[in-house]
Amino acid sequence: MASNVYEIHRYQHDNFQCVVARTNKYNEEQIRKDIEKMNAMLSEEAKSQGIRYVFAIGSMSDMIRQRTKKNQRGGGEEQRSSSLFL
């Protein structure tokens, strides 16, 4: 049985920009509430530029693959995340 991984994606208009956060430690409702808060905190300028955060579901195999890539790159860049994922 594959376990779900919840993600927060950043979009500008309809263009995907990046995965902001990824977790399997919290339930879907908690992640959705966090996304609502993040969108509410966006500045008017960011909103006018079409920036928004969107809920997505991944899988554990996606998470493992991402960690493997990051380890092969030598740790890579740090991902920014909301307080929910700290």
Stated pTM of the model: 0.69
Q: State how far the Cα of 36 lies from the Cα of 29, in Å rounded to an integer.
A: 11
Interatomic CA distance for residues 28 and 5, integer angstroms? 9
Separation of alpha carbons 78 and 68, rounded Å: 15
Interval 31-41: pLDDT, tens: 999 999 999 99
Give the bridge partners for 8, in sequence order. Answer: 21, 55
For the chain, which residues make up each domain, given as ranges? Answer: 4-85
pLDDT of 63 reads 62
